[in-house]
Structure 1
Amino acid sequence: MPLNVSLSEAAPSGAAPSGEALFREGRVDGVDDSWDPFESEAFAVADLNPGLIRPDALPHPVSLGEIPAVQDRFQALIKRRLRLEIERRPPRFPWEQGIQDYPEWLMGEAPAAPVWIEQLRQLKLPTLLPDEVLVTLLQHCQDLARQPLKSGVRLVKAVEALFPGQPQTLENMARMVLTPAYRSGRTPEPLTLDYESANTQQQVALAMLAAQEIFQSLTLTLSALEPSVQRQWVTPVGLLTLTATYQVEGSRIQVQAVLPQAGYLHLEGVRAEKDQPGELVAMLEAPQAEQTYSVTVGLLESQSPLQFTLIWLGGSEP
């Protein structure tokens, strides 16, 4: 049914709103609310290309007031159709065979950087890694540190979220990273590219090197021959120092944390807190040889605690 709306006819006092007002409200007398003058075959044939739409192709004469209002409605329709088309068939990179999931930070939603990120920025690497990569590695390394995994498997699992769908590349690079230069016959070459411009293999190698250092920083290994170990962690509020010591007398392990601000220390069910900077101590009685224990340090203003892994190897006292 043709639609002709004239805005020149004066509306009597108390009458219904003008045609322009009705258009803004999405209503026109005598026309169903769901009808849209732009939902026509002419626009479907145009296939989202405004250049293919000609005024003489419209099946209905349309007089809807000022041109800007019509243009706004047309643009809204185009945006809606584009959004529906993208949802139905998401775009892919040329090298992608199908749709795959990526970490949230790659989609523009980077996780909040914890206070622990300052230490990770100082890792001894050929180049600085983005904070988003470091945060992801820290999260996965904390989860994996207590699991009884081989070194290669642990490295692969630590970085696989950053490089989805590339298991063979990860396995190959893990072997290379774990092979000392003197055994492989390779001479290390300085990396001049930054992380963003490096190729995939270089990025995997850098991520695995970072994961190695993070694992080492998060692991406290004690034995009768090496009864004490210390780790330091740089934060924006000061230096965190963690010391684990095996005490022969009493056959127990003492964990001491010196906090730069108020926080807590948790060791296998034993918790110590302090509402100001200073020293906290927790004891582990009768540790079992070849066992791993969890050590958690939290600062009250941090988003999440830092989790260390304590390993008691046992052995005879020197």
Structure 2
Amino acid sequence: MNNDRNSLSPEEERLAQRFLAWLLQEVIPNDDPNPGAGVESHRSLSQTRDHDPSSITDESIMQTRFQALLKRRIQQEIQNNPPLFPWETTEVWEYANDPIDEEADSRVPTNVWLPQLAQLRLPIAISEATLAQLLVRCQQVLRTSLRQGERLVAAVEGLFPERTEELNIWTERVLLWSTSRSGETLIEPSEGEFPRSYEGATPTQQMLLSLLAAKEIVESLSLNVSASHPSDRRQWLTAQGLLQLDAEYRCHGELPQLRVCCQIPDGGRVQLRGEGAIATGQRSTPGSVTVELADIQPQQTYTLEIHLDASEQSPLVFAICPTS
């Protein structure tokens, strides 16, 4: 494969690395790892070491260490799971067990769901139209069993249709830097070095911003419960008010149950879906709606669709994954 189109010069690579470090520094501050809508526990951070922001030596050490870690990670993944790695094919959506909901493909999110997207912790604003497109794609990938990195690639690749290989590389870096940041340097951009808007960013910078936005959206729409961690909560700001979900994993004898209590800000309908089972609840006024499924299967993804009266035919979809 000819990769000249997607290759970066050493200077572009250096700037992209600095840009990613700066974005993550802004997006995931050390003093607030779990605000608002809530994210998974793997986002907890190590204490940042004190470095001179202008130290080229420290930055070089960080980049060398990161490149070695990335290389070992990729080699191990290729050896263990060769058919599943996204950069081995440009068709990351073509998984036999993960069909895409064609009906959902045509859904455009109504304005009722968009206020939450303005709360994303990004130092550079992304247009509402781009965020709305990411929201649609993120809800689609939640219905599949793709792994985290593959979900991000699938959610973002529509914005960068000819840069799939580069997108996969940066997805790995985003995930690695988000979970292992002990060797990072604090990045202060030089004047004019980083863009002030999404539209003014380079394609690589737009890619990084889109990946971070997709990561925030996917995590805000994902709940995880188990016997040892029986409850999880998410909030989503809508044009009608705050939507809140409380998922609970219950064990009665040998039959585990999944119960979700929803505080909806408007009249509407809630559907909890699993393989071969649907639980539905509705009300005509704001308030509490509870749905429950019995005899659930661990490791299976259950989807929760929120239909508000103001959202017309465009629901908001959450994914709940119970584990044993």
Match of 2:269 among 255, 264, 271: 264
* 2:196 is aligned with 1:193: yes
Aligned twin of 2:213 = 210
Per-residue deviation, 1:148: 1.9
- After TM superposition, give the deviation of residue 225 of structure 1 in Å: 1.2
What one-letter code is carried by the residue in structure 1 that aligns with 2:181?
A: Y
1:170 corresponds, among 159, 163, 167, to: 167
Equivalent in 299, 308, 314 of residue 318 of structure 2: 308
For residues 50-199 of structure 1, what are the structure 2 equivalents within 5 Å? Answer: 113-180=110-177, 182=181, 185=184, 187-189=186-188, 191-199=194-202
Correspondence for 1:18:
none
> Root-mean-square deviation (CA), in Å?
1.8
SS of 1:115's partner is: helix
1:12 aligned residue: none
Which whole-Å CA distance do the structure 1 matches of 2:187 and 2:244 have between them?
A: 33
Match of 2:39 in 1: none
Structure 2: which 5+ residue stretches go unaligned? 1-107
Pairwise CA distance, 1:270 = 1.1
Aligned residue in 2 for 1:277: 286
Amino acid at match of 2:284: D
Within 2, Cα distance between the matches of 1:208 and 1:273?
35
1:294 pairs, out of 284, 287, 303, with 303
Deviation of the 1:127 alpha carbon: 1.6
Distance 1:136 1:280 in 2: 28
CA distance in 2, matches of 1:234, 1:123: 11
Q: Distance in 2 between matches of 1:175 and 1:159?
A: 13
The 2-side partners of 1:189 and 1:140 are apart by: 32
* Cα separation, partners in 2 of 1:135 and 1:276, compared to 1, 3 Å: same
Cα deviation, 1:187-239, whole Å, max 9, x if unaligned, reads: 44565521110111111000000100111111111011110001111011111
- Counterparts of 1:21-40 in structure 2 under 5 Å? none
Provide the secondary structure at the position in 1 that maps to 2:249.
strand
- 2 CA distance for matches of 1:263 and 1:284? 19
Shift of 1:155: 1.4
The 2-side partners of 1:194 and 1:175 are apart by 24
Counterpart of 1:225 in structure 2 is 228
Q: Could you tell me how far apart the structure 2 residues matched to 1:175 and 1:189 are?
A: 23
User: Tell me, which stretches of 5 or more residues in structure 1 are unaligned?
Assistant: 1-110
Determine the C-alpha separation between the residues in 1 that align with 2:125 and 2:248: 33
Q: Distance between the aligned counterparts of 2:279 and 2:163, measured in 1?
A: 42
Normalised to the residue count of structure 2, the TM-score between the two structures is: 0.59
Change (3 A) 1:188 1:295: farther
Inter-partner Cα distance in structure 2 for 1:256 and 1:226? 17
Q: Which runs of 4+ in 1 moved over 4 A?
A: 183-192
CA deviations on 1:90-134 (whole Å, 9 max, x unpaired) are xxxxxxxxxxxxxxxxxxxxx664311100110111222101111
CA contact (8 A) 1:113 1:131 kept: no
Q: Secondary structure at the match of 1:165?
A: coil
Deviation string, structure 1 residues 49-105 (Cα, Å, up to 9, x no partner): xxxxxxxxxxxxxxxxxxxxxxxxxxxxxxxxxxxxxxxxxxxxxxxxxxxxxxxxx
Q: Provide the identity percentage.
A: 37
Shift of 1:162: 1.0
Partners of 1:162 and 1:192 lie apart in 2 by 19
> Contact 1:272/1:281 (CA < 8 Å) preserved in 2?
yes
What amino acid sits opposite 1:306 in the alignment? L
Tell me which amino acid in the other structure corresponds to 2:162: G
Structure of greater relative contact order (alpha carbons < 8 Å, 6+ residues apart): 2
Q: Verify: 1:242 aligned to 2:249, yes or no.
A: no
